[in-house]
Amino acid sequence: MKLEKSIELYTRGKRHLVGAVNSPVRAFKSVGGVPIFIERAKGSKIYDVDGNEYIDFVLSYGPMILGHRNGVVEKTIKKYMKNGYTFGASTKGEIIMAEMVCDAFPGMDKVRFVNSGTEAVLSAIRLARAYTGKNKIIKFAGCYHGHSDALLVAAGSGLATLSIPGSKGVPDEAVKNTLIAEFNNIKSVENHIRKGGIAAVIIEPIAGNMGVIQPDKKFIKELRELTKDNDVLLIADEVMTGFRSQYGGAQELLGFEADITCLGKVVGGGFPVGAYGARNEIMEMVSPLGDMYQAGTLSGNPIAMACGIATLKELKKQNPYKDFEKTAAFLEREMKSAAKKNGIDLQVNRFGSMINPFFTKTRVVDFKTAQTSDTKKFKTFFWKMMENGVFLPPSQFESWFLGTAMTKRDIYKVRSAIQIAMKAVADKFNK
């Protein structure tokens, strides 16, 4: 595995880029070594500047669900680019895209497009506060909702009671109204709601930034009932899960309906698109209909809308979700089998087209149990997978993503890489 050109670019990039990257996970801090610099991608494959070919399980952290440079999507983008890139005015594409998104999410009457998942979430929080007239927000330890100040909160030692800024530059005042609860623990939510003043609870229906973690059916049912009974809005952050496990949201599969839904990633098909939507009475609080102000020069960008529309149309046509489930189940079996053969403790969590392993004997159901995973073992596993042509997120706590462009040949190659990587972990740690 050659890395000379990536090393050269990393050294060069450090001069004018922070850490030579524009998003922290790309720096490979969790797994060590030099970050990989990508040159191009096509279908299920991604290629770095040194010419190494990988089967891509990062998929730009989710958006490239149809694989890279899907023919139909690319043709659509080129067609719309001929008309111009951005106008600062409304276009027909925004209306078409809004109709498609609202049709896919029961209970969503109106949607507002923005430019990122972070922007969608911070707007949804503002909207919840405007609608309820209350200020406090409950989030769950380990759930990531973007880098806005109010949600960059670390659990610390006071998991269910204290809100401590998780980043320098975030003042205590910015998070004083953000309360932390435990994923899959309804009592931790009840304790906060009992004290009053809660505008909303925000949750990733399927957590993806502490690894893939599903909510217990009883927990999610009780959470919806608890919020309704106490006039608290429930916000579903489906930036990662929207259109990933079915055409629509994970909410429907889990059997609940949020008051506000946030979207991103797949809905933009690879372009910067976020969205938040809700029923009419809530969304009509948003300017220009209401007094909750939110705006964006590039929101509803015509090229991004065209890409999103083409992606959603292709997804609806292909309906790949049963195939995703079969592939994920196969990968789970292969990882568990290879781990058992090599005497390695392993848990594998998955939901639809999202999957990842944890190097622990503990069942992973929340942030605390996710942290029992042996990250040193993951580091060895990660680099062996890379050496054998499989591009994974460079973090134990990031989901892997499946795409429709992956072939049976790709998956069998991944199986071989898993067997080699698990043996490497055993050789290094089982002494």
Give the residue numbers annotated as catalytic, written as ranges.
144, 237, 265
Q: Which helix (H) or strand (E) holds 307?
A: helix 302-318
Q: Strand 260-263 vs strand 233-238: parallel, antiparallel, or unpaired?
A: parallel
**Mind giving me the DSSP string for 320-365?**
-HHHHHHHHHHHHHHHHHHHHHTT---EEEEETTEEEEESSSS---
In one letter, which amino acid is 254? L
In one letter, which amino acid is 324? F
Question: Which one, of 312, 401, 407, 404, lies nearest residue 67 by Cα?
Answer: 404
Q: List strand residue ranges (DSSP E) for 43-197, in order.
A: 45-48, 53-56, 110-114, 136-140, 153-154, 164-165, 178-181
Cβ contacts of 95 within 8 Å, gap of 6 or more: none
Cβ contacts of 169 within 8 Å, gap of 6 or more: none
Q: How far is residue 187's CA from residue 182's CA, in Å, rounded to a whole number?
A: 9
Contact 36, 399 (CB under 8 A): no
Contact 148, 114 (CB under 8 A): no
Work out whether the CA dihedral 375, 379, 380, 386 comes out positive or negative.
positive
Residue 45 has φ and ψ, to the nearest 5°, of -110, 150
Q: Strand 53-56 vs strand 347-351: parallel, antiparallel, or unpaired?
A: unpaired
Q: How far is residue 297's CA from residue 285's CA, in Å, rounded to a whole number?
A: 20
- Burial label for 7, CB within 10 Å (0-12, 13-18, 19+), is middle
At 205 the three-state DSSP class reads coil
Q: How far is CA 212 from CA 44, 120, 349, in A?
A: 21, 21, 6
- The DSSP symbol for 70 reads -
